[in-house]
């Protein structure tokens, strides 16, 4: 298992250390992600965010991998990969809107190739293969990165995608976040395999196992895989070994299926603390500069929250928008039904009717 | 009708060809016209497809544009989705419509809703071709008619031609449509009929039905492999003095409701013919539309002539019991006339 920093923050692989600027940027992105996760809980309890899957403790797995991409690359995130999407540049306001169940969360920025969070498991893997292949066919050096969990690696689509990517030499990087649990089913009950990165062997592609709580290690191995893909070397499967210390969703009660003993020890492996200790020890950050960073992150989040608060609620007939380029006669008729039924509900509907 | 269809100049030349040749012609034209068009699937490359619909296309357009995939339908469709997202026009072949089932998650969860879940930031101009239907003594699972599953999936269009010219014209419209289109090809019709097909970039608009025969007494609504069956029954009825209007729907989504309602308003009798299982089939949707919009014109109950609620039987001796034939349609015509 590739590791750069030990859990206590000490350097175990000097040769894998990224440059200081990159280390600081990884820390900044992990802090942004954690802030989102922590504020998300509060907003959920206040009724200002819907049910969402927390990812606290998995920041190194998400941030270190997504940081290896550029804005020309594709990112196919699962519902738990908010940290990865934020890292590539998905605006916080849009992300909040998504978990508020607002269509404004489905408007992805035009300068970003991040797909909306995937709810079905593993379906995004073959799609990433297609996007990667299309980039290569169009002569670019862009790659596609897709995320999945240990549970998702039981799905047929996972295996089909790895096989397709290998056979067609697609510039794809597959991130398998082994976070220990598929809702209530532990990895040991999910599969007899103990090293999920070796699933790559079956498809003739490289498989890498990395400490998923070590942002410097995840960044290092992912950057290698991205560069190999850009250079025509084909796909890589990266297993990030991490842990879902939080519940499956904010509405989940993990005490029904796991004990405190299961989770014991993972706090000591916390990815944010680990990199923080390293940066302080290396003199790359001071407690004062960190305080400035945290204040900046908090201000950024509150501004985004205000932006999300300003998004208008959708009108009733909007549920029929964006089905086809041009609505079918059937959709036009159904739209008229909705407008007639909701005509009393405001000017927007009346305007549409006119 | 609803798809933004560009009509090429009226062709002046025609070539006599089978439906499979017309499909090959359409694919060839699309590949030549647009570099983003890519064809892929099982055996479509070197071999040219099990029905030869892609015969010669790899040799002519290259291994990057027409290529064989590993054997896995979910990944074929899923990969096509990714290709469509990233700016290509993917045309996937599913070897038989009965093999679509492993890919249903990709279709139901994603293909149909990508435009919706990205508020039109992304759209999928993807075509999935699949041979379907019975009548040619195929093995188990090869003769299914799963069109209702797709028609029930928001965000995908469903096209089923019944003639070589329509196959070409509708396929070129499908390839140029901005949204995903399922293109079902009746296996029975691939080589059993030949007709003059316009050469060049010939288009038939998606969403417009075709009136096959005109008549004042009974409307028979059908599509794909059942058009030929209904046509034979209509010819026999005509000889007996009954005017049967056969409507070839051509497109299930979007459906040309106007043509159906206009005809039923004229005849007052409606029969729907499909080879799919009876319960919850697309024929039931057509019956419901007629009931909602033309019930005051009906002089007899709507009759569905369909397959049965059992898997399609691969037993040559009794296959024809399952698949509607002209006699069953003729019986339905008598039934509504005698009501």
- Residue B18, pLDDT > 70, answer yes
Q: Which of A164-168, A246-250, A292-296 has the lowest mean pLDDT?
A: A246-250
Spatial strand order of the sheet with A144-149 comes to A113-114, A74-76, A144-149, A172-178, A236-241, A207-211
Cβ–Cβ gap A137/B38 under 8 Å: yes
Cα A156 from chain centroid?
21
* Per-residue pLDDT at B3: 41
**First and final CA of chain A: distance in angstroms?**
64
- Residue B162, pLDDT > 50, answer yes
Average pLDDT over residues B36-41: 98
Q: How far B15 CA sits from the closest chain A CA (Å)?
A: 33
Average pLDDT over residues A156-165: 98
Helices (H) and strands (E) in chain A, counts: 13, 8
Average pLDDT over residues B18-44: 98
The 10s digit of each residue's pLDDT in A55-87 is: 999 999 999 999 999 999 999 999 999 999 999
- Could you say which of A94, A244, A276, A278 is catalytic? A244
Band of residue B1 on the pLDDT scale cut at 50, 70, 90: very low
The residue in chain A having the minimum alpha-carbon distance to the alpha carbon of residue B178 is: A325
* Per-residue pLDDT at A349: 45
Average pLDDT over residues A141-155: 97
Q: Which of A260-269, B143-152, B289-298 has the lowest mean pLDDT?
A: A260-269
Mean pLDDT of chain A: 95
Q: Which residues of B touch A120 (CB under 8 A)?
A: 105, 109-110
Contacts 24+ apart (CB under 8 A), A346-352: A346/A315, A348/A315, A349/A315, A349/A316, A349/A317, A352/A315, A352/A317
Residue B192's Cβ-count burial label (10 Å; 0-12, 13-18, 19+) is middle
- Residue B92, pLDDT > 70, answer yes
% of chain A surpassing 70 pLDDT: 97
Distance CA A18, CA A26 (A): 10
Mean pLDDT of chain B: 95
**ipTM value for the complex:** 0.93
> Is B116 an active-site residue?
no
Distance CA A200, CA A235 (A): 10
Q: How far A292 CA sits from the closest chain B CA (Å)?
A: 36
The residue in chain A having the minimum alpha-carbon distance to the alpha carbon of residue B81 is: A127
* Per-residue pLDDT at B8: 56
- Residue A346, pLDDT > 80, answer no
Q: How far A330 CA sits from the closest chain B CA (Å)?
A: 7
pTM: 0.94
Q: Which residues of B touch A106 (CB under 8 A)?
A: 117-119
Average pLDDT over residues B210-229: 98
Classify residue A313 by its DSSP letter: P
Q: Does A326 touch chain B if contact means CB atoms closer than 8 Å?
A: yes
Contacts 24+ apart (CB under 8 A), A193-200: A195/A239, A196/A150, A196/A153, A196/A239, A197/A237, A197/A238, A197/A239, A199/A153, A199/A159, A199/A162, A199/A237, A200/A162, A200/A236, A200/A237
Cα A49 from chain centroid?
18
* Per-residue pLDDT at A343: 85
């Amino acid at each position: 298992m590739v590791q750069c920093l030990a859990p206590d923050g000490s350097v175990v692989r000097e040769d894998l250390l990224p440059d200081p600027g990159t280390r600081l940027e990884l820390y900044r992105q992990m802090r942004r992600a954690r802030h989102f996760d922590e504020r998300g809980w509060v907003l959920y309890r206040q009724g200002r965010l819907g049910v969402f899957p927390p990812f606290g403790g998995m920041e190194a797995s998400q941030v270190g991998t997504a940081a290896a991409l550029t804005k020309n690359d594709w990112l196919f995130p699962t519902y738990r990969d908010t940290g990865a999407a934020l890292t590539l540049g998905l605006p916080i306001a849009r992300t909040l809107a998504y978990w508020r169940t607002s269509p404004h969360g489905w408007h992805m920025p035009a300068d970003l190739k991040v797909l909306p969070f995937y709810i079905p498991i593993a379906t995004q893997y073959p799609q990433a293969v297609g996007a990667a292949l299309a980039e290569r066919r169009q002569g670019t050096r862009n790659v596609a990165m897709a995320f999945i969990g240990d549970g998702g690696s039981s799905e047929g689509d996972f295996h089909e995608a790895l096989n397709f990517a290998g056979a067609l030499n697609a510039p794809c990087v597959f991130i398998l976040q082994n976070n220990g649990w598929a809702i209530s089913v532990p990895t040991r009950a999910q599969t007899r395999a103990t090293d999920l990165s070796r699933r790559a062997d079956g498809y003739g592609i490289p498989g890498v196992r990395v400490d998923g709580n070590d942002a410097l290690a995840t960044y290092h191995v992912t950057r290698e895989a991205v560069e190999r893909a850009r250079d025509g070397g084909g796909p890589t499967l990266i297993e990030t070994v991490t842990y879902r210390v939080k519940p499956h969703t904010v509405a989940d009660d993990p005490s029904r299926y796991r004990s405190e003993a299961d989770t014991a020890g993972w706090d000591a492996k916390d990815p944010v603390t680990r990199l923080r200790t390293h940066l302080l020890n290396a003199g790359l950050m001071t407690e004062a500069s960190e305080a400035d960073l945290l204040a900046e992150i908090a201000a950024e989040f509150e501004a985004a929250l205000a932006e999300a608060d300003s998004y208008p609620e959708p009108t009733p007939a909007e549920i029929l928008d964006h089905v086809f380029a041009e609505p079918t006669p059937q959709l036009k008729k159904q739209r008229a039904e909705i407008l007639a039924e909701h005509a009393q509900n405001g000017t927007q509907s009346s305007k549409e009717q006119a | 009708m609803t798809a933004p269809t560009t009509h090429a100049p009226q062709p002046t030349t025609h070539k006599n060809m089978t439906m499979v040749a017309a499909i090959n012609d359409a694919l060839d034209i699309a590949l030549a016209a647009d570099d983003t068009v890519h064809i892929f699937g099982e055996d479509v490359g070197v071999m040219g497809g099990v029905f030869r619909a892609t015969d010669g296309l790899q040799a002519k357009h290259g291994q990057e544009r027409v290529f064989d995939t590993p054997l896995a339908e979910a990944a074929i469709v899923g990969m096509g989705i990714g290709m469509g997202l990233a700016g290509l026009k993917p045309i996937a072949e599913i070897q038989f419509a009965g093999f679509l089932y492993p890919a249903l998650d990709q279709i139901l969860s994603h293909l149909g809703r990508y435009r919706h879940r990205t508020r039109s930031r992304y759209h999928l101009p993807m075509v999935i071709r699949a041979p379907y239907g019975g009548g040619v003594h195929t093995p188990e699972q090869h003769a299914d008619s799963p069109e209702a599953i797709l028609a029930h999936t928001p965000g995908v269009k469903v096209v089923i031609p019944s003639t070589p010219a329509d196959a070409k014209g509708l396929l070129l419209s499908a390839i140029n449509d901005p949204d995903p289109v399922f293109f079902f090809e009746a296996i029975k019709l691939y080589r059993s009929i030949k007709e003059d097909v316009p050469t060049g970039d010939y288009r038939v608009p998606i969403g417009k039905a075709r009136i096959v025969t005109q008549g004042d007494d009974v409307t028979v609504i059908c599509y794909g492999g059942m058009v030929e069956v209904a046509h034979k029954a209509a010819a026999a009825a005509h000889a007996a003095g009954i005017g049967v209007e056969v409507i070839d729907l051509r497109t299930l989504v979007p459906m040309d409701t106007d043509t159906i309602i206009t005809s039923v308003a004229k005849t007052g009798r409606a029969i729907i013919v499909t080879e799919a299982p009876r319960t919850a089939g697309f024929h039931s949707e057509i019956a419901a539309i007629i009931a909602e919009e033309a019930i005051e014109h009906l002089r007899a109950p709507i009759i569905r002539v369909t397959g049965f609620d059992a898997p399609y039987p691969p037993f040559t001796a009794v296959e024809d019991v399952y698949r509607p034939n002209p006699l069953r349609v003729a019986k339905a015509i008598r039934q509504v006339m005698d009501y």
